[in-house]
Amino acid sequence: MPNKNNRFLLPFLLLVHSAQFLAAQPALDWDLTFGGISYEELNGLKVHQNAIYIGGSSRSALNFGQPGDTSWNVLFTKTNFEGQVLWHKMLDANRNDRLWTLMVTSDGGLLAGGYSYSDALGDKSQPSRGGMDVWVIRLDTAGNKIWDRTFGGTGRDELFSILEMPDGSFILGCHSNSNAGGDKSEMSRGELDFWLIGMDANGNKLWDKTIGGNAEDQIHDLALLPSGNILASGGTVSQRNTGEVGPDFARGAKDYWILEFDPTSRQVVWNRRHGGTNDDFAYALLVTSGGKIFLGGRSASGIAPPTAINNGKNAPFYGGDSDYWLLELDANGQKRNEWSFGGNGLDDLYYLQENERRDICIGGVTDSGISGNKTTPLRGGYDFWLIGIDTLGNQLWQKTVGGGDIDALTRIDLMPNGAMVLGGHSQSNAGFEKSDASFGVNDFWVVTTLCNTTVAIDNTPIANYCAGEPALLTALTTDCADCLYLWNTGATTASIEVEPGTSGEYSVKVINELGCIALDTANVSLPQPPVINIGPSDTLILANNTLILGQNNPEWTYQWSTGAQTPTIQVTTPGVYAVTVTDGNGCSATDAILVRMRREVLIYAPTAFSPDLDGVNDYFTLYTNDGVERILELQIADRWGELIYRKRDFFPNNDVDGWDGRYRGKWAEVGVYIWSAEVLLSDGEKRHLEGDITIIR
């Protein structure tokens, strides 16, 4: 932790929890005050991966390594999601340089900019073009400057918004009163114009376009349309039908002005002005994920009914200096709906942030007490004022955040869990929602909301998966009233069924009523059917023996073809035996075995006989027990291999069925003869036998 006694070097961090808050109102998590002895103004804030990047302007160079410099310099700070400062970087030159915008590029770097009066000195590498110039700075995520670029003419040139295009190039949203010269290719239209600059990924200018009327046209924001065209918005006091300003009549001192621009043809597609009877200026532009266009800012105007060529203002004015005024526009910039939010003081809308529910947080600054449609009390001189609405404009909640002095919100972004990061500047000491004392005149102040939503997928009831019953996956949540459920299957319910035969990864995103997000993933695997093997498909056993069949698994149930339901059975008779096993998932497998029974086989073949018809030992045959069913063939050959006797398919043990010792009707000579036989055993097996027999007399 930093040393709080040295209040000018590093900020002090303290977690703050809101003790009391209205239902469906964001609670706060932590806040961070960061600054030096003088002025700091936060005008850039982006969340990327596991960090928060903050950008702004500072006159406290003494505290950031630049003693003696009292001009405005550019200051960058990086924190983690717990509010601990990881680094800070100050970029300075020799005159006033200020930051108005900060973005994280698609490759993970930082791109920031604003204006500079400085020459090429210190951290500024290019000379002044004249007066105030556009200054663009490229940094890596460690805060190291990669390059910087200066664009401008001889007058006032100021950058307020940067937009990254799909091809990796950038469009800079500036305003300018410079005529052609320097980096500006066209003459000024009036006192101040929109000035768009196309820039490649290395900071080289590709093109520029001046857009405006005969007076002052001041840009503030850019947004990308799905078509690839862009929207540019701000305010105008120019007369109708001058320069690029269209035919809409002006109603008051200043009106909202918005246009669609084609960066390919570099032509304005359409432009619209919206306003009431007084001063109206658009600070915030949002194209939602659903394609809706919202334009918001401040309005000091009363109701001014629309006419054929003026959009007017129908939303009420609540008094004081100004109200939040929010418009929903169609694809041609015409007003579809409008809302006012305000009380009896100054209420200026500075930022619009869409969350994962497609609800919108409106943020800005207020010094109104409870009045008009403001329902939350004032903390100090000025406060952050936040309002949540859905895309139909229905108000969901309100929240005031501040200390006892002046606090102004300028930026909002979201952490991955949906918590809001609120950025602005503050003159307040500790008190109310502010936990730390001021470091100087004005400091960076970052406040985060609390998200405690959790989700865990319960996938335990998967029994009987193979029995044709689906698996039920349920998202079990905490801190999740009025939740939205978004499964990767497209389902939007708390529970889903996984059909039998399906496996894979299932994930759910849960979003509570305040946009807090929780994620979980479950892997559903097809249960493998049980593997049962009760032996070779054909098994032979000897008569009067017992065979044990089966495979003992305590998690299985068994059904044998014999009717038995035990893991094993005893087999004593031949036949086909089958078993079906079923596991705890309802998955089954079957195995079968053919059991054949063999009696003991005894075969005797004489080694000599004396064929002389004396009734004793006159024949040669095979003598067996009942393990042999019959003799399929018996052959006799002499010692030279000549076949002299063959007989097929006869029974053993019968002398007269054997060889009588004759060959071609005569007695065979005394001597040794070779015999071979094929016998059929009682279990169906065939066996080949051979030997020799001697004839004696």
What pLDDT band is residue 464 in, cutting at 50, 70 and 90?
Answer: low
- End-to-end CA separation in angstroms for the chain: 121
What pLDDT band is residue 143 in, cutting at 50, 70 and 90?
Answer: very high
Question: Which position has the token pair 């300028």?
Answer: 410
Provide the mean pLDDT of the chain: 90
Same domain, 691 and 608: yes
What is the structure's pLDDT at 465? 64
What is the structure's pLDDT at 306? 80
Compute the average pLDDT of residues 105-127.
Answer: 94
Is 639 inside any structural domain?
yes
Same domain, 673 and 688: yes
The pLDDT tens digits of the residues spanning 510-537 come to 999 999 999 999 988 777 788 999 888 8
User: Which domain, by its residues, includes 665?
Assistant: 603-695
Same domain, 623 and 689: yes
Domain boundary among 546, 573, 598: 598
The pLDDT tens digits of the residues spanning 31-47 come to 999 999 999 999 999 99
Nearest to 159 by CA among 143, 189, 125, 183: 183
Residue 7 has pLDDT above 60, yes or no: no
Compute the average pLDDT of residues 343-364.
Answer: 97
- The Cα-based distances of 394 to 337, 341, 379 in angstroms read 12, 12, 25
Residue 288 has pLDDT above 60, yes or no: yes
The domain tally of the chain equals: 3
Which residues in 92-184 belong to E strands, given as ranges?
A: 97-104, 110-116, 133-139, 145-151, 157-164, 170-176
What is the structure's pLDDT at 252? 80
Nearest to 431 by CA among 410, 405, 408, 450: 405
What is the structure's pLDDT at 498? 86
Domain boundary among 563, 581, 598: 598
List the CATH number of the domain containing 590: 2.60.40.10
List the CATH number of the domain containing 615: 2.60.40.1220
Q: Which residues contact 292 (CB under 8 A, 6 or more apart)?
A: 328, 391
Same domain, 520 and 574: no
What is the structure's pLDDT at 13? 28
The pLDDT tens digits of the residues spanning 400-418 come to 999 999 999 999 999 999 9
**Cβ–Cβ < 8 Å for 136, 149:** yes
Same domain, 617 and 684: yes
The pLDDT tens digits of the residues spanning 658-677 come to 999 999 989 999 999 999 99
Is 581 inside any structural domain?
yes
Same domain, 609 and 594: no
Q: Determine what percent of the chain is predicted with pLDDT higher than 70.
A: 95
Same domain, 618 and 637: yes
Is 3 inside any structural domain?
no
Same domain, 691 and 607: yes
What is the structure's pLDDT at 460? 63
What is the structure's pLDDT at 584? 80
Same domain, 588 and 608: no
Q: Determine what percent of the chain is predicted with pLDDT higher than 90.
A: 74
Is 689 inside any structural domain?
yes
Compute the average pLDDT of residues 331-344.
Answer: 96
Domain boundary among 566, 598, 630: 598
Is 533 inside any structural domain?
no
List the CATH number of the domain containing 513: 2.60.40
Nearest to 365 by CA among 344, 345, 349: 349
Alpha-carbon dihedral 105, 108, 109, 110, rounded to 10 degrees: 50
Same domain, 574 and 513: no
The pLDDT tens digits of the residues spanning 227-276 come to 999 999 999 999 999 999 999 888 788 999 999 999 999 999 999 999 99
Is 358 inside any structural domain?
no
Same domain, 614 and 543: no
Strand order in the sheet with 97-104: 97-104, 110-116, 133-139, 145-151
- Residue 305 or 15, more confident: 305
Residue 12 has pLDDT above 60, yes or no: no
Is 623 inside any structural domain?
yes
What is the structure's pLDDT at 116? 96
Is 220 inside any structural domain?
no
What is the structure's pLDDT at 689? 93
Same domain, 592 and 607: no
